[in-house]
Structure 1
């Protein structure tokens, strides 16, 4: 039986692997940072803010995975995840340092 995978170029395979890595790793990073930002910034009791942030992180992870496979290139997928992650990291860091006693 002849394999159909032999006709697929290596560059395409690497692009798919890069998108999968972006979806898994970049999506986790984006979800974790969004959870931290929501926990620090929501004006509700701390326990409720943590639960809300954790529940919202699942939505952010889903959107990140969808984004990775909707982009035209793997570079655009990585850039589209790392730029918001950088912004969320800056927001979380500044909110943390402002909240210190």
Structure 2
């Protein structure tokens, strides 16, 4: 199924905004649980890194890669990082 150029643009915009936000939030959770420093500092560093990750995800969403690959990569990375971060934070294995 091929989308019209207008629908492709809207889908990439949604991938950039929603997928980028999910990826950045998952990265912040993961880094907050993994970084070897005090919990408050690890969360702050994870939050700082998430701003750069969000920007990179937005730029990447408009790259020439196929639309399905963009969505799957952002969704997969968000699920893996968020799940691992929540498991690590809950088990207390973080710093």
TM-score for the superposition, normalised by structure 2: 0.87
Could you say if the C-alpha distance between residues 98 and 71 of structure 1 is closer, same or farther in structure 2, counting changes exceeding 3 Å?
Answer: farther
The question of 1:35 aligning with 2:28 is answered: yes
- C-alpha distance in 1 between matches for 2:28 and 2:76: 16
Cα separation, 1, equivalents of 2:5 and 2:15: 15
Q: Per the alignment, in what secondary structure is the counterpart of residue 70 of structure 1?
A: coil
Equivalent residue pairs, number: 91
RMSD after superposition: 1.6
Say whether residues 1:65 and 2:66 are aligned partners.
no
Structure 2 equivalent of residue 4 of structure 1: none
* Structure 1 residue corresponding to 2:13, chosen from 17, 20, 24: 20
Question: Any gaps of 5 or more consecutive residues in structure 1?
Answer: 1-9
Greater shift, 15-24 or 78-87, is seen at 78-87
Structure 2 portions without partners, runs of 5+ = none
Which of the pair has more CA radius of gyration? 1
C-alpha contact (below 8 Å) 1:71/1:77 kept by paired residues: no
Structure 1 segments of 4 or more deviating over 4 A?
Answer: none
Query: d(CA) in 2 for partners of 1:71 and 1:32?
Result: 25
Distance 1:16 1:96 in 2: 37
Structure of higher RCO (CA pairs closer than 8 Å, 6+ residues apart): 2
